[in-house]
C-alpha cells in the first residue's frame, strides 16, 4: 500500500451544506387527454438557478490522530460555517462557487378532473456549482434531483 492510499483509507470527511436559491423553470408542455377526467402532461425544459446564500461546514476525522493534532493541521475554522462565496473560501480553494447554474428537467403530470395533479420529474445541472483541480483529484459538484409532486389547481 502506498502512503496516500493508507492515509486516505483512515480519513472520514463529513460536509454539511445549506443553500438558498431562486430556481426559475422554463418548460415546454404537451397535454394529452386520456379520458374525459384524466389528462397527461409531459414536459421538458431548462431551469435557471441563482444561488443567494450558500454555506458549508466540514469535519474531518483521521483514525489514530488526536483532535488537537487535527486542529493544528486543518485550522480552528474546520468545524464552523463558511460562505462558499466569501474571501476565506476563495483563499482556501482559489475560487468561489458559481452564483448561477443552468440545468434541464424532464417530467410528467397526471391531471384529474382539472383539479388534482400528481407528477414525477428528474433534473440535472449542466453548469456545475463548483469545480476544482487538486493535486490528487479533479472534482465537480452538480445536483441531480428526482421530484414527486402532488397538487391542487384553484
Residue 35 is predicted with a pLDDT of: 96
Residue 72 is predicted with a pLDDT of: 62
Output the pTM of the full model: 0.68
Residue 126 is predicted with a pLDDT of: 92
For residue 44, what are the β-bridge partners? 28, 106
| Per-position DSSP letters for 69-126, written without gaps between them | HHHHHH-GGGGS-EETTSHHHHHHHSS---SEEEEEEEEEEEEETTTEEEEEEEEEES
- pLDDT-derived band at 66, boundaries 50, 70, 90: low
Residue with more model confidence, 34 or 4:
34
In the block, residue with C-alpha cell 391542487: 152
Using one digit for the tens of pLDDT, what is the confidence trace for 112-142?
Answer: 999 999 999 999 999 988 887 766 667 788 8
Amino acid at each position: 500500500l502506498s502512503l496516500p492510499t493508507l492515509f486516505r483509507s483512515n480519513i472520514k470527511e463529513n460536509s454539511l451544506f445549506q443553500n438558498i436559491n431562486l430556481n426559475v423553470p422554463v418548460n415546454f408542455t404537451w397535454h394529452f387527454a386520456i379520458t374525459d377526467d384524466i389528462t397527461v402532461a409531459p414536459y421538458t425544459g431548462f431551469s435557471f438557478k441563482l444561488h443567494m446564500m450558500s454555506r458549508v461546514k466540514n469535519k474531518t476525522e483521521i483514525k489514530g490522530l488526536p483532535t488537537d493534532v487535527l486542529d493544528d493541521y486543518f485550522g480552528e475554522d474546520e468545524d464552523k460555517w463558511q460562505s462558499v462565496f466569501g474571501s476565506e473560501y476563495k483563499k482556501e480553494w482559489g475560487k468561489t462557487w458559481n452564483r448561477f447554474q443552468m440545468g434541464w428537467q424532464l417530467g410528467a403530470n397526471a391531471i384529474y378532473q382539472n383539479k388534482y395533479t400528481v407528477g414525477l420529474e428528474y433534473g440535472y445541472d449542466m453548469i456545475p456549482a463548483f469545480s476544482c483541480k487538486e493535486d490528487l483529484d479533479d472534482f465537480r459538484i452538480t445536483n441531480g434531483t428526482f421530484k414527486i409532486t402532488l397538487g391542487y389547481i384553484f
